[in-house]
Amino acid sequence: MIVYYQIESKNEEKNKFINSFNNFNPVTFCQNKINKITETDYYSYKKYRFQIQTKIDDQINMILLYTWNKIKINKTKYLQYIDELK
């Protein structure tokens, strides 16, 4: 987990550095604005990764809970499981 935070910190620094040139270069400023509007910028991607990771964590927790408590999975539980992970 520490490595994750180190990587995120470095990415954040790089992104701030790149954004610092917006005042000097109108092309990058416009490009960054368009990327933000279309949600293809760094922060949108970061948000997307976080959402995916949360879904994965939820799925793992549910599987572990079912396994630990020796819960049998039937059709109803399976459909509930699928609904929770949407």
Q: Provide the pLDDT for residue 13.
A: 93
Residue 86 predicted with pLDDT over 80: no
Residue 40 predicted with pLDDT over 80: yes
Q: Provide the pLDDT for residue 37.
A: 94
Instruction: Give the pTM.
Output: 0.67
Calculate mean pLDDT across residues 11-16: 90
In contact, 62 and 81? CB cutoff 8 Å: yes
For residue 34, the Cα-to-chain-centroid distance in whole angstroms is 21
Residue 10 predicted with pLDDT over 90: yes
Q: What is the average pLDDT score of the chain?
A: 86
Calculate mean pLDDT across residues 5-34: 87
Calculate mean pLDDT across residues 28-53: 90
Cα–Cα distance for residue pair 81/63, rounded to 1 Å: 9
In contact, 76 and 54? CB cutoff 8 Å: no
Q: If phi over 0 gives left and psi between -120 and 50 gives alpha, with beta otherwise, what is residue 40?
A: alpha
